[in-house]
Amino acid sequence: MTEPPATPDPVPGRTGPAAPPADPGPAGVSVRARGLGHRFSGTADLFTGLDFDLLPGEVVGVCGPSGCGKSTLLSILAGWLPPHTGTLETTGIERTGWVFQNPFGVPGRTALDHVVLPLLAKGLDRAGAETLAGTAMADFRLEAVRDRPFRELSGGEAQRLMLARAVCSAPDLLLVDEPTAQLDLRTAGTVNRTLGAIARAGTIVVIATHDPHTREACTRVLDLAVAAGASSGGEDDGEDGGAAGAAAAGGRTPAPGAPPDGGAAP
Ligand SMILES: Nc1ncnc2c1ncn2[C@@H]1O[C@H](COP(=O)(O)OP(=O)(O)OP(=O)(O)O)[C@@H](O)[C@H]1O
């Protein structure tokens, strides 16, 4: 059996087994993973031994090549999939939002209708809900498509619409799959800054991404290429720089409870 390291693991987002419990912070919200690993029946280990704590204010990038298990880790964080090994403890997570890369909507309903829905469900009247929805849509540069039916939206618009809707649900944990893959640089920058602002408002934001700009906008990176020991998992698509490149690129890990810098000011 391998002796546990005495000092924190240098791999970004991983700490040694002696890491203290996550400080749930004033809002009492946290996610604590210890020894997390997953494999599907018939596959090799996608990742093993992940130790990390997630706290409000963080934008955590889940990075690594295609097929390394990024979406799988999001499923585990959402509680949809039990990990093959390790434990995941959540504190104070009452609402989890997940924005898929290819979201579904109601084809004939307007973009605004989609964002208004969670606000009406919370008890706001239509006028109040439309005001807040309009603000969330503007944050994601969706003013121009406000009254367009969902079926007419582009893939990138549809995904940003779901981000705006997720924000209006005020989740404690927001999981986002490849939010900038379909976007031009300027719009991607807006999305990254908005996600940073959402985190600073008290949400834990976790983003699965290949995009180096999005990775750079994250306050911390969980690199699954590194977590897999570069021995299994997906193919290197070149966008992440592969296991070695990804390990070298690292990520910024703020002190627990410290405000993230993230380059993600709104
Ligand atoms: N239910 C399942 N049963 C078996 N294998 C699965 C299942 N779901 C995913 N996989 C496999 O697990 C691996 C990781 O999949 P996952 O979707 O998590 O990768 P990813 O890193 O998100 O990939 P991408 O960047 O291409 O979206 C892939 O090889 C995939 O084929």
pLDDT of residue 102: 82
What are the C-alpha distances in Å from 176 to residues 144, 149, 152, 180, 231? Answer: 23, 23, 22, 10, 26
Predicted confidence band of residue 257 (pLDDT cuts 50, 70, 90): very low
**CB neighbourhood size of 35 (10 A):** 14
| Per-residue pLDDT at 89 | 95
pLDDT tens for each residue of 13-69: 333 333 444 555 556 899 999 999 999 988 899 999 999 999 999 999 999 999 999
- What pLDDT is stored for residue 42 in this prediction? 85
Is residue 73 within 8 Å of 224, Cβ to Cβ?
A: yes
Measured in degrees and rounded to the nearest 5, phi and psi for residue 96 equal: -115, 130
Task: Pick the range with the lowest mean pLDDT from 18-27, 142-151, 164-173, 239-248.
Answer: 239-248
Convert the pLDDT of each residue in 162-217 to its tens digit: 999 999 988 999 999 999 988 899 989 999 998 998 999 899 999 999 999 999 99
Convert the pLDDT of each residue in 87-139 to its tens digit.
999 999 999 999 988 888 999 999 999 999 999 999 999 999 999 999 999 99
Q: Where are the beta strands (DSSP E) in 120-260?
A: 173-177, 204-208, 220-223
What is the rounded CA–CA span in Å between residue 54 and residue 161? 25
Nearest CA owner, ligand 1 atom 29:
67
The DSSP line for 232-266 is: SSS---SSS-HHHHHHHH----PPTTPPP-TT---
- Residue with CA closest to ligand 1 atom 23: 67
* Spacing, Cα 14 to ligand 1 middle (Å): 22
Of 41, 48, 72, which is best to mutate to test ligand 1, by the most ligand atoms within 8 angstroms of its C-beta? Answer: 72
Q: Concatenated DSSP letters for 29-65?
A: -EEEEEEEEE--TTS--SEEEEEEEE-TT-EEEEE-S
Higher pLDDT, 45 or 7: 45
State the sign of the Cα–Cα–Cα–Cα dihedral 64, 68, 71, 72.
negative
Nearest-atom number in ligand 1 for the CA of 69 is 18
Please give the pLDDT value at position 242: 34
Q: Mutation test of ligand 1: which of 39, 46, 182, 215 has the most ligand atoms closer than 8 Å to its C-beta?
A: 46
Separation of 69 CA from ligand 1 center, angstroms?
5
Taking CA atoms, 131 is separated from 28, 248, 257, in Å, by 30, 45, 32
pLDDT of residue 117: 95
Distance 39 CA to ligand 1 centre (A): 10
Compute the distance from residue 71 Cα to the ligand 1 centre, in Å. Answer: 7
Q: For residues 258 and 123, what is the distance between their CA atoms, to the nearest angstrom?
A: 34
Q: What is the pLDDT of residue 24?
A: 57
State the distance from the centre of ligand 1 to the C-alpha of 12, rounded, in angstroms: 22
- Tokens representing residue 7 in the block: 């000092």
| Domain edges within the chain | 106-169
**CA 220 – ligand 1 centroid, Å:** 22
pLDDT at 115: 97
Which residue from 71, 77, 210 has its CB within 8 A of the most atoms of ligand 1, so it is best to mutate?
71
Which residue would you say has higher pLDDT here, 2 or 53? 53
For residues 260 and 199, what is the distance between their CA atoms, to the nearest angstrom? 9
Residue 8: predicted pLDDT: 32
Could you say which DSSP state residue 178 is in?
-
Describe the chain by its helix, strand, coil percentages, rounded to 5: 35, 20, 50
154 band by pLDDT with thresholds 50, 70 and 90: very high
Ligand 1 residue neighbourhood (C-beta within 6 Å)? 40, 43, 46, 66-72, 208, 234
Q: Which of these, 77, 68, 99, lies nearest to 161 by C-alpha position?
A: 99
Say how many Å lie between the CA of residue 246 and the centre of ligand 1: 19
Residue 256 or 198, more confident: 198
Question: Is the pLDDT assigned to residue 224 strictly greater than 60?
Answer: yes
Q: Is 124 helix (H, G, I), strand (E, B) or coil?
A: coil
